[in-house]
Structure 1
């Protein structure tokens, strides 16, 4: 259990550093690569939680597919690839104060609700086959609806990107 806590701390620190790098970099491609690091770290956290199916889905769908779409979007919109000097507006201190206040509210709510409670371990483990059976049996309509929505978004992005 101690090794899991140490691994969690190391991965969480790497995710936080990558997230800070993602929002502070002036290069849009570097921001996308920092996002890959954040999503990979979250996949590693899922492995620590023994949620291998979700970790695999995180890597395949978010890192493999969504990030490719982001990079294609960056290339198709002709976003500036190098350093851009003015990425923030003059009111960024207000945004920092709001973010810190929101973080404080979240931490207070979590500590107030859970305090020093420990995590429950009821011993029930969902297998990947169980998740797949439920997705493709009782949740097939929402699954297909999301796939059609993503296809429509992809077609819309291609239509908007074309200059014909």
Structure 2
């Protein structure tokens, strides 16, 4: 009888131990789940704060870039309109063109901004400086522009600006769709299949510059 009782106690213990261990595990899992539910909102709140701070910083930089480009354009245009010195006018024009390039970058047109800097600031503006220095090389002082038709030029400029604004009111109806090809695709086309044409245009501009030098030198010798 004692052997049977001992065997019965052992079987009861073996049946009770898994249930106890299972209950302990369930209690631990429940406590861990409570901890996760407690700390999850805090982590989500911290991540949302970080995202909002990053968006605020990006918006601040965007506004600063737009304001800087606008100031460059306004300052350059004011210098061109108010000064009478040709070299200062050229510098003001370059500042204005750099502001336009910044506006192109602000609106996501990297290729237009690059073309603005290389073609206008780096090409046309340098030709302006070269022309001013060559034409007025014989004079003793710096070249100065005489003002004779300021009022008429202002009236014409205001009239043309008004016509352009009125003509664009009906054509602009919302945001334009994003272009599929970016700056990389355009650069591949220019420096890939159209490389020969691109180089020929550069050689043509160089030949024109050399021809101007030859003509000016021949005129001075006479």
TM-score tier, shorter chain, comes to: 0.7 to 0.9
Determine the structure 2 residue equivalent to 1:46: 104
TM value normalised by structure 1: 0.76
TM value normalised by structure 2: 0.59
Structure having the higher helix fraction is 2
Hey, what's the Cα distance between the residues in 2 that align with 1:78 and 1:95? Answer: 24
Q: Which has the larger radius of gyration?
A: 2
What are structure 1's unaligned runs of at least 5 residues? none
Determine the structure 2 residue equivalent to 1:88: 147
Determine the structure 1 residue equivalent to 2:82: 24
Structure 1 residues 86-119: Cα deviation after superposition (integer angstroms, max 9, x where no partner): 6222x432222121111111111111322xx321
Determine the structure 1 residue equivalent to 2:209: 154
Alignment: residue pair count: 159
Question: Per chain length, whose mean CA-contact separation is higher, i.e. which structure has more relative contact order (CA < 8 Å, sep 6+)?
Answer: 1
Shift of residue 125, structure 1, vs aligned partner: 4.7
What are structure 2's unaligned runs of at least 5 residues? 1-57
Shift of residue 9, structure 1, vs aligned partner: 4.7
Q: CA RMSD in A?
A: 2.9
SS of residue paired to 2:121: helix
- Relative to 1, partners in 2 of residues 1:76 and 1:82: Cα closer, same or farther, differing over 3 Å? closer
Hey, what's the Cα distance between the residues in 2 that align with 1:94 and 1:51? Answer: 36
- Relative to 1, partners in 2 of residues 1:102 and 1:123: Cα closer, same or farther, differing over 3 Å? closer
